[in-house]
A = this chain, B = another copy of it.
Amino acid sequence: MTVGPSAPQPRTGKTARLPRTARRFQLLGAAREVFVAQGYHATAMDEIAERAGVSKPVLYQHFPGKLDLYLALLDEQAYSLLSSVRRALASTTDNHTRIARSIAAYFDFVDDPSGAYQLVLESDLRSEPAVRKRVENSFTECANAIAAVIAADTGVGPGEAELLSIGLVGLAETGARWWLVTGGTVEKERAVATMVELAWRGLAGYPRRNVDDADPASPDHADERED
């Protein structure tokens, strides 16, 4: 999906010559793989070059430095996420569906086999101002998109809507990331549905059970959810 084989090119000596744009695209793919697998600090430019099957100078002929390369990938992913969320919000006017699709968008974003979501949601370079700015912008833009819908469709003020959207994004982000690390233990649709339920009806939507009413045969609410 990315650009080429996952194994480093064992090209003995020479590499096929590529036009600039194709080479650049390939380098981005290789860099994405290594950055995702090891994080920013742990990856060496040597590794990226090796992964791409080229030598280091080629890398520096396409990108001024390590940080620029990383930022290019970061922008790519941040834009992807924001687009997905915007599409989800614009795809319907029913707010429950909007929330469901937005949360699903986070799960889909995280579910990409390349793992590129890590660049946006788990970057290890937030100390760098340029990175911090992009990560926070990505977060804020997504939240603002949701906040605009909330403010438009409910009676809450813009400040309150922003707070709510922050909470929702946090819920979706964290839920999606956690679901991913479980590695398929929980069905994706089920995880999404639970998060949507929580976001939509809150904890109070779940039946209270008295502490002395510990009958395990009582009907389970979670399974009779309808949508």
Residues of A within 8 A of B (CB): 38-39, 41-42, 93, 95-96, 99, 122-127, 136, 139, 143, 150, 152-157, 159-160, 163-164, 166-175, 178, 181, 186, 190-191, 194-195, 198-209, 211, 218-222
Contacts and interface: CB of A to CB of B under 8 A. Distances in A.
A32 to B, nearest CB: 16
A224 to B, nearest CB: 10
Contact of A127 (B41, B93, B203): B41
What's the number of copies of this chain in the assembled complex?
Answer: 2
A153 B209 contact: yes
A164 B206 CA distance: 11
Given A164-B198, A200-B202, A204-B200, A156 B124 contact: no
A125 B127 contact: no
A201 to B, nearest CB: 4
A206 B154 contact: yes
Contacts of A39: 126-127
A189 to B, nearest CB: 12
A175 B167 contact: yes
A155 B202 contact: no
Contacts of A150: 203, 206
21 contacts: A39-B126, A39-B127, A96-B204, A124-B124, A124-B127, A153-B209, A154-B206, A154-B209, A155-B207, A155-B220, A156-B206, A160-B222, A163-B194, A167-B198, A168-B171, A170-B173, A170-B174, A170-B178, A199-B202, A200-B204, A202-B205
Nearest to A131: B124
A100 B130 CA distance: 35
A2 to B, nearest CB: 20
A174 B99 CA distance: 18
Nearest to A178: B166
B155 A221 contact: yes
